[in-house]
Structure 1
Amino acid sequence: MATHTGGLTRTCAPAPAVGAADAAVRTARLVRRFGERAVLRELDLTLASGEFTALLGRSGSGKSTLLRAIAGLDHEVAGSGLLEVAERVSLSFQDSRLLPWLRLLDNVVLGVGGPGAGERGLAALAEVGLDGRDRAWPHELSGGEQQRAALARALVRDPELLLADEPFGALDALTRIKMHGLLRELYERHRPAVLLVTHDVDEAVELADRVLVLEEGRISVDLTIDLPAPRTRRDPQFQEYRDTLLAALGVAQPQITFEEKNHHDAYVR
């Protein structure tokens, strides 16, 4: 199916199997303006099927704008080429967006038709560690549990592409660590293509296999993260990737003494 929006042809077609040459997302010369200001400037991007990609950028760089364009939520995006997106797309936001008047299972399967939707919803809740909470109201859940429910809602749709806009930004540090592990585990199990928008460089290096930096409406850095799992921030290669991305974002790293480094390494170990 193809739709035409502001000069842009948007095509939604079944995504190919992992490892195929085709992509879950392909944009060509994507443009988005807000008045006279161009947020996306003839942006080209290809995301392979089954690839986990993180998107970094300074505030106002257009990260969420790009995500909304890919999700088909922005009808003012234009481009002289194609925007091709996988057919089954799920979105996850910083706010879990659970409807307070629906119990948890009903939130998870909202909009999911066909026989067996309830069973699929229960299975998705079990996958994210919320087994037995299907009758709970959203206000009875912690912030971390609400984000788990949001992931279950994404999973129940069997997405070929998962778009996540800072889904852990509102969580405390310990809950974020747990959610990082859960997201990576679910990704390894289901293998959708993932585009994770984040401000957290460490989060990007820890979770993604490819990290992009958006600057002035274009991709300025495209970095492959070649680290085995489980990844640790104490790994020197992890630190090299981190420093490269921080430099691309214009963040200078403080110089520390040899004694300070040894003290830090001993603390995090």
Structure 2
Amino acid sequence: MAQDSRGLIARPAVEARGLTRRYGPRTILDRVDLTIGRGEFVALLGRSGSGKSTFLRALAGLDHGVPGEGSYDTPDAVSVVFQDARLLPWKRVVDNVELGLKGEQPRKRALDALAEVGLTQRVEAWPTQLSGGEQQRAALARSLVRSPDLLLLDEPFGALDALTRLRMQALLLDLVARHRPAVLLVTHDVDEAIHLAQRVLVLDQGRFIVDLQIEFPKDHAAREMRFAEIRAELLRSLGVTDADLRRVA
């Protein structure tokens, strides 16, 4: 377990124990256990309906009234970014980021956060005037301005075109390196998970069936080979057969 600057054992950012969630007769999460360390970047993969978003919503405290058992412990400072940026259309971009912000100089902090994501020239724009990528930049600014210890991302780039998605991935890595929250990213994109995360989980039938540390050698050729191995392993765990892999190779 990680130690803090004083050499003391640091509590993890997330501890889930026996987490179970049901919708009617169907069990979506089946006694899930998970620990995420402080500052750790974890990606969560799974087929549609596997319970990825249900797990994220549980950690965010957004699943009130959903039957289930188990326990989870998360930090007080938790932020969530969804696939839909969820900006209030009647408020300008800077007002969306500043909304509900407590502490000193909330306006300055909102402006600084927007500068971090490259939206200095768009602070007075209305959300409908922003592109999809700009809206997600604003959503990231709104989350990170609150200095979260845990950042939850539910397919935040899923609706973006390929080029914008690559730019947003690079921006996310840069922001996470600066702010150092623990991160749980829900995604359908295997390559995105490998590229961004230090650790990748696969959820299937309510349980984690893969928990893989992502480490690469420094040599470029060896790195490319390892990337391909990890990608194939994750795809197989998602039901993609070796024959499928050969057809798309």
TM-score normalised by L of structure 1 = 0.84
CA offset digits 1:195-229 (Å, max 9, x no partner) = 00000000000000000000110111000000379
- The 5-angstrom pairing of residues 76-225 of structure 1 reads 76-80=66-70, 82-225=71-214
CA drift of 1:77 comes to 4.8
AA partner of residue 85 (structure 1):
T
* 1:29–1:42 contact (8 Å) kept in structure 2: yes
Residues in 2 aligned to 1:218 and 1:83: alpha-carbon distance in whole angstroms: 16
Preserved CA contact (<8 Å) 1:52 1:210: yes
Question: Mean alpha-carbon deviation: is it higher for 128-137 or for 100-109?
Answer: 128-137
Between the aligned partners of 2:4 and 2:105, the Cα distance in structure 1 is 25
Within the alignment, does 1:254 sit opposite 2:245 as a pair? Answer: yes
Normalising by structure 2, we get a TM-score of 0.91
2 CA distance for matches of 1:44 and 1:77? 17
Deviations 1:86-109 (A, max 9, x none): 110000000000111000000011
Specify the SS of the correspondent of 1:235: helix
Report the more deviating stretch, 57-66 or 111-120.
Answer: 111-120
Separation in structure 1 between the aligned mates of residue 209 and residue 196 of structure 2, nearest angstrom:
20
Gaps of 5+ in 1: 1-15, 262-269
What SS does structure 2 have at the residue aligned with 1:60? Answer: coil
With over 3 angstroms needed to count, the CA separation of the structure-2 counterparts of 1:17 and 1:166, relative to structure 1, is: farther
Counting aligned pairs with the same residue, the percent is 59
Maintained 8 Å contact 2:47/2:188 = yes
- Deviation of the 1:133 alpha carbon: 1.6
Gaps of 5+ in 2: none
The one-letter amino acid paired with 1:148 is R
Q: Is the 8 A contact 1:28 1:79 kept in 2?
A: no
Residue 77 to residue 47, structure 1, CA distance change in 2 (3 Å): farther
- Choose which of 214, 217, 227 in structure 2 pairs with 1:238: 227
For residues 127-176 of structure 1, what are the alpha-carbon distances to aligned partners after superposition, in whole Å with 9 as ceiling and x for unaligned? 00111321111111110000000000011100100000000000000000
Alignment of 1:58-77 (within 5 A): 58-75=47-64, 76-77=66-67
Number of residue pairs matched by the alignment:
240
RMSD of Structure 2 on Structure 1 (CA)? 2.1
Structure 1 runs of 4+ aligned residues shifted over 6 Å read none
